[in-house]
Amino acid sequence: MRRAIPVLFLALVAVASGCVQQGQLANPSAVYCEKQGYSYVIRDMAGGQEGYCVFGDGSECMAWEYYRGSCSPSGGSICVDMCGDGTCQKVVCLGEGCPCAETPQSCPVDCPAAGGYVDVTAEEANALLNTLPGLVIIDVSPHYAEGHLPGAVNHYVGDGSLDETIPALDKDKTYLVYCHADSASILGAQKLVDAGFTRVYRLEGNYAAWVAAGYGIEY
């Protein structure tokens, strides 16, 4: 009998394990991919495993993106990119032709962060400059004459010039703030936010990031 007990125990464990595996919920994105007649594969990525839906034409999408309707078998986007139209597309449909969902990160020009300013990269700042004619660029540094972003105005935050100017600024406009140091640009952007401005962006990496990205400057 002493030998029979371990065997019975192992059998119960095996049955229990089988029940757990059988009861696992299927990945909705995988089910959707395969129901459409495509192949679902799992790949080892730098950040962990990721599921992909592979289409008949050889193109592929991340499975969850295909499930949410943000990509198609051709590899193109099903939704319509409306970034820059002045409206933050927060609630969208999932059918073809619907606006793509927008966030302060994916479309800062249409979706400023509520209650604060938005940090943007040099590339995103350049997009703001090219798509928003009314953008006001404020250099809050004392180095304006040594080079500045195209069209920028200088209101140095360190001597009170920005504080004196803020009451005269138009709160309906969009502002991009930068300096040569994070401490000053953060202070300048926050001053605008505290004064009630709702469309405020700060150039992440400041003037150096803009120059490193290869964009033009003025003197």
Which DSSP string corresponds to 75-140? SS-SSB--TTSSS---S---STTPBPP--TTT-TTT-PPTTS-EEE-HHHHHHHHHH-TT-EEEE-
| pLDDT tens per residue across span 30-42 | 888 888 888 888 8
pLDDT of 143-191, one tens digit each?
Answer: 999 999 999 999 999 999 999 999 999 998 999 999 999 999 999 999 9
Give dist(CA 156, CA 190) in Å, integer: 14
Asked if CATH classification 3.40.250.10 holds for the domain at 118-212, the reply, yes or no, is yes
Amino acid at 151: G
Task: Assign 50 a pLDDT band (cuts: 50, 70, 90).
Answer: confident
Q: What global pTM score does this model have?
A: 0.54
pLDDT at 14: 42
SS3 27: coil
Q: Where are the domains of the chain?
A: 28-68, 118-212
Q: Which residues contact 87 (CB under 8 A, 6 or more apart)?
A: 110
**The amino acid at 156:** Y
Identify the DSSP state of 57: T
Q: What percent of the chain has pLDDT over 90?
A: 38
Q: What is the largest CA-CA distance in the chain?
A: 93
Between CA 110 and CA 116, with CA 114 as vertex, the angle to 5 degrees is 105
Tell me the average pLDDT of the chain: 78
Position 58 confidence tier, pLDDT thresholds 50, 70, 90: low
Number of Cβ within a 10 Å radius of residue 44? 8
| Model confidence band, residue 12 (pLDDT cutoffs 50, 70, 90) | very low
Which tokens is 6 given? 């371990």
**Helix (H) or strand (E) run with residue 194 in it:** helix 182-194
The whole-angstrom distance between residue 152's C-alpha and the CA centroid of its chain comes to: 25
DSSP-derived secondary structure letter, 163:
H
Mean predicted confidence (pLDDT) in 61-66: 80
